[in-house]
Amino acid sequence: MEKNKLSSISKANTYEKMGEFWDSHDFTEFDEESSPDVNFEISCKISVEPDLLSSIEKQARIRKIDTETLVNLWLHEKLNQVKSEIHSS
């Protein structure tokens, strides 16, 4: 860290002082004032059989939507169907 430069939260001008500050503080104490809200997307990988993926991609092309969008729509539909079946039992 360059001399005379301050850390935005701890106002420390050395790594040692910054470390000492964070040893006795928690970021959540400063969360509201120093960090803006951010949006982020969580993604995951799920293996799909090649033939099944090919069929899904074909259906997405027919509907002129992304494969990911179609998969999400179908998953939502299926989950809603399962929830309805559970609640009607």
Residue-wise pLDDT tens digits, 12-69 = 888 898 899 999 988 778 766 556 778 888 888 899 999 999 999 999 999 999 999 9
Domain extent at residue 79: 50-88
| Residue 17 and residue 6 in contact, taking contact as beta carbons nearer than 8 Å | no
- pLDDT tens digits for 71-84? 999 999 999 999 99
Query: How many structural domains compose the chain?
Result: 2
Residue 8 in any domain: the answer is yes
Question: Helices (H) and strands (E) in the chain — how many of each?
Answer: 4, 0
My answer on whether 30 and 54 are in the same domain is no
| Separation CA 8–CA 27 (nearest Å) | 12
Tell me if 12 is assigned to some domain.
Answer: yes
Structure token pair of residue 32 = 């509201």
Whether residue 13 lies inside any domain: the answer is yes
